[in-house]
Amino acid sequence: MTNHSQQIVQKLWNYCNVLRDDGLSYGDYVEQLTLLLFLKMAHERTQPPLRQASVVPEGFHWPSLMSKDGDALETHCRHILEELGKKDGMLGIIFRKAQNKIQDPAKLKRLIADLIDREKWSAMGTDAKGYAYEGLLEKVASTHAV
């Protein structure tokens, strides 16, 4: 695992511990992180140099999350997850029954703006993302070991 991947895993893990104190399980955290990373990476693919059409409808995309704060952010995040779960195709399958489990708007904003938005996830190699995700899962598994 590269040093950058290890740093990302450590940042994500440290924040997981903060959310655990609010009652969020490790599994819930990984699920929330995965859904938010999907939105961020879908947005990145619309930017140069790729400039692909967005798979996420306007108003439900990453910039709409970044533009909100406080209770409006928590409400909007919940609305995005519910509405995307109603869409046809793969988007609906990915978000079906998704719920926002991070109820504290300040912590949700920190996860979105400070942890996820600061990285260029699509620019990372597949190995780096895989190592980061595996590292996070290993940490979750080690907390459940007897």
Task: Give the DSSP letter string of the chain.
Answer: --HHHHHHHHHHHHHHHHHHTTT--HHHHHHHHHHHHHHHHHHHTTSTTT-PPPSS-TTSSHHHHHT--HHHHHHHHHHHHHHHTTSSHHHHHHHTT-------HHHHHIIIIIIITTS-GGGS-HHHHHHHHHHHHHHHHHHH--
Task: Check residue 146 and give its pLDDT.
Answer: 47
Confidence at residue 10, expressed as pLDDT on a 0 to 100 scale: 81
The pLDDT of residue 145 is 58
Which residue positions in the chain have pLDDT lower than 70? 1, 144-146
State the pLDDT at residue 144. Answer: 66
